[in-house]
Structure 1
Amino acid sequence: MSREAEKEQAIYKVMDHMASVQQKSQAFVELITKRGALSQNQIMLMFQLQLTGSLNITDIAERLVITPGAASFMCDKLEDLEYIERIRTKEDRRVVNIVLTEQGKQHNLSLFDTFEVADLGKISMTLQMIDDLMGGIVQ
């Protein structure tokens, strides 16, 4: 097999696996979110808040690739459900940070209730390997 044909075959394999991972990742997110009334973006925001502690509307909009207005509207819905709260900073009352409430944290954890610890470990390890690999390629 020529070098050119070998590279083309490798490219097709990457494309195939990328499509498969994307479909399965989407299906996994749908699996954990199907029991509730929250959108995938709302769930991903709640995950981000659990991991970071707090974000402002601009941070949320950038991370979810949505407008600040859409981010604010999303937060309104989550605040109505008592999953998040808005906290003004003491230094500048105009700055509002979004934080997860205890109820929001418990909701996040409950999304994974049906999974065994061993399965969660395998999923985490695999996602970490993908993240590490992509982090070395995409800066």
Structure 2
Amino acid sequence: MGKSEYIERIQIALQTSIQKMQPKMTESLNKHGITATQFFVLMYLRNNESCKISGIADFMGVKPSAVSFMIDRLEHNHFVYREHDKKDRRVVNIKLSEEGIKKLNLVIQERKEIFESSLLTLTDEELLQFAKIAEKLAGSVTP
């Protein structure tokens, strides 16, 4: 069996695994009143602490107006807040609120539990190998 066949097997297995987990992931987000795109933005804010709408729009590859609308919804739900920059009052930074941090941590924990339940069939050695492979792949992915 050649590389091409192995890659095809991996692709099919990963796609099937994701399809099995996706409904549970979506259900978790829905339960917390967050869309997948909002989750993506909240994670971006968590990783970047504070940023402008234009920065989020650039990262997502969308227009700032689309992000502004989403931030309005997240702000309405008390997950984020707008703060004027101390150096330049014209600049408005978006930050995670305490409520947003709590909600995000709940969703992350539930997602971890979904992954754990899917990976319970693996031995400790298989989990270690899978972690190393996943980390290697994550490092090789170019944006």
| TM-score category (smaller protein) | 0.7 to 0.9
Deviation per CA, 1:57-102, whole angstroms, max 9, x where unpaired? 1221233332211111000011111111111112222221100111
What is the aligned counterpart of 1:74 among 64, 70, 77? Answer: 70
Deviation per CA, 1:15-70, whole angstroms, max 9, x where unpaired? 31342354356445314202032211112211222222112112212333322111
Does residue 1:89 correspond to 2:85, yes or no? yes
**One-letter code aligned to 1:99:** K
Q: Aligned partners of 1:9, 1:128: CA distance in 2, in Å? A: 22
- Unaligned 5+ runs, structure 2: 121-127
Q: Aligned partners of 1:82, 1:137: CA distance in 2, in Å? A: 34
2:19 maps to which residue? Answer: 23
Q: Aligned partners of 1:20, 1:72: CA distance in 2, in Å? A: 35
What is the aligned counterpart of 1:108 among 104, 107, 114? Answer: 104
What is the aligned counterpart of 1:35 among 31, 35, 47? Answer: 31
- Unaligned 5+ runs, structure 1: none
Does residue 1:99 correspond to 2:95, yes or no? yes
Q: What is the Cα deviation at residue 13 of structure 1? A: 1.8
Does residue 1:132 correspond to 2:136, yes or no? yes
1:97 is paired with a residue whose SS is: strand
Among all aligned residue pairs of Structure 1 and Structure 2, give the percentage whose two residues are the same amino acid.
27
2:88 is paired with a residue whose SS is: coil
What is the aligned residue count? 132
Q: Aligned partners of 1:50, 1:129: CA distance in 2, in Å? A: 25
| TM-score normalised over the length of structure 2 | 0.71
Matches within 5 A, 1:60-71: 60-71=56-67
